[in-house]
Amino acid sequence: MKNSDRFSSPLWRDRALGAAAVAEMEKLAPRAAALTGGRVNFMEVCGTHTMAIAASGMRKLFPAELKMLSGPGCPVCVTSQGDIDRVLALAEMPGVIITTFGDMLKVKGSKGLDLHAMREKGADIRVVYSPLDAVELAAAEPARQVVFIGVGFETTAPVIAGAVARAKAAGLKNFSSTAFFKLVPPALELLLSDPENRIHGFMLPGHVSAIIGLEPYRFVAEKHKVPCVVTGFEPLDILTGINMLLRQIVAGKALVEDEYFRVVRKAGNPAAQRLMAEVFTVSAASWRAIGTVPATGLEFSAAYAAFDAVRRFKIPYRDAPEPKGCLCGGILLGKALPPDCKLFGKVCTPSNAVGPCMVSSEGACAAWFKYGA
């Protein structure tokens, strides 16, 4: 295979290869289900996988014995209600410019407001495509405080770390960021430690794994005996990843395998890892529907603590209830599917979202609403 072919979309969407993968799945799924109590439950941890599965329509091709569950891999969705309230409190600060990715605009706080509504009320809120845009804005507006809303996982953390490091090097005193980051491996430990857990395999996130590599997942296979496959995002990637998980179950194995070999390396991205370790340190994190859990997130290291927006503006954390009737938390834990929620498609729609799973472009509810089951 030529190197250029490894990244070729036509190859990874090849109809004949896809049909062969579906045929193999139809053979493997009943055999695997016979070993797991009649059904095989796999979780796609990443929200991009959730959207890719829905957009391709492949869910209709899955055998009856296979069930794909959405996991806690949507950055906006896992951000706790208390942290959303802190974002809105920052937007209320006089003279502050809030910069954010677009997904955060319509996530409602505990009082029913969101950044979009606050912008209509006069708050200065700007959508940016990169945290470096926020750094450039701070340099151009020295009389204003510029805050970037940093949320996400190991994928976005290095990019935001780079922006903060650049702001420090430039001597910018008017730039800061939130650090509402979550770590994927501890999230898997949380899921597997739940007595009600019925997950038989993980489709691991390709983007996160490109940063952290394969080793951080080793405990899932060795301690919990649950198969794992790092998977890409094209249709054939996903079908192949599912078959790799099924093969492990049929063979009685639990391994960490890499289907997304054209992007993910065993050691990940050491430069990005070093940058994260310089700017951030492991800390407790507040998760939607789970609560505050030790050593599952990142906060600013002592050397970069001055760039912590919630510390700079003294915004305390307060627990806040989930939106009434919203099942987003249960969906993130693989305990419910979007249609199980009574609000789904009725009270809660993309234009009038109740919970973040309907707001985010990576949210399970948004995927099911747009593309159906």
For the chain, the structural domain boundaries read: 3-74+184-258, 76-183+268-312
d(CA 142, CA 359): 33
Under CATH, domain 76-183+268-312 is a member of which superfamily? HypD, alpha/beta domain 2 (3.40.50.11740)
What CATH number matches the domain at 3-74+184-258, 3.40.50.11750, 3.40.50.720, 3.30.70.1060, 3.30.300.30?
3.40.50.11750
Predicted confidence pLDDT, tens digits, the chain (373 residues): 444 444 445 666 788 999 999 999 999 999 999 999 999 999 999 999 999 999 999 999 999 999 999 999 999 999 999 999 999 999 999 999 999 999 999 999 999 999 999 999 999 999 999 999 999 999 999 999 999 999 999 999 999 999 999 999 999 999 999 999 999 999 999 999 999 899 999 999 999 999 999 999 999 999 999 999 999 999 999 999 999 999 999 999 999 999 999 999 999 999 999 999 999 999 999 998 888 999 999 999 999 999 999 999 999 999 888 888 999 999 999 999 999 999 999 999 998 899 999 998 889 999 999 998 6
Q: φ, ψ for residue 239 (rounded to 5)?
A: -60, -40
User: How many helices, marked H, and strands, marked E, lie in the chain?
Assistant: 18, 13
**Domain 3-74+184-258 identical in fold to domain 76-183+268-312:** yes
Compute the distance between CA of residue 352 and CA of residue 20 in angstroms, rounded to an integer: 41
Q: Contact 312/306 with Cβ under 8 angstroms?
A: yes
Report the alpha-carbon angle 333-110-319, nearest 5. 65
Query: C-alpha 209: how far from its chain's center?
Result: 12
Tokens 């627990």 correspond to what residue?
319
Give the span between the Cα atoms of 67 and 272, in whole angstroms: 34
Q: Which residues contact 340 (CB under 8 A, 6 or more apart)?
A: 327, 330, 331
Residues facing 151 on adjacent strands: 180
Paired with 42 in beta bridges are 68, 201
The strand pairing partners of 177, in sequence order, are: 148, 308
Q: Which two tokens stand for residue 222?
A: 């060795």
Q: Rounded to 5, what percent of the chain is helix, strand, coil? A: 45, 20, 35
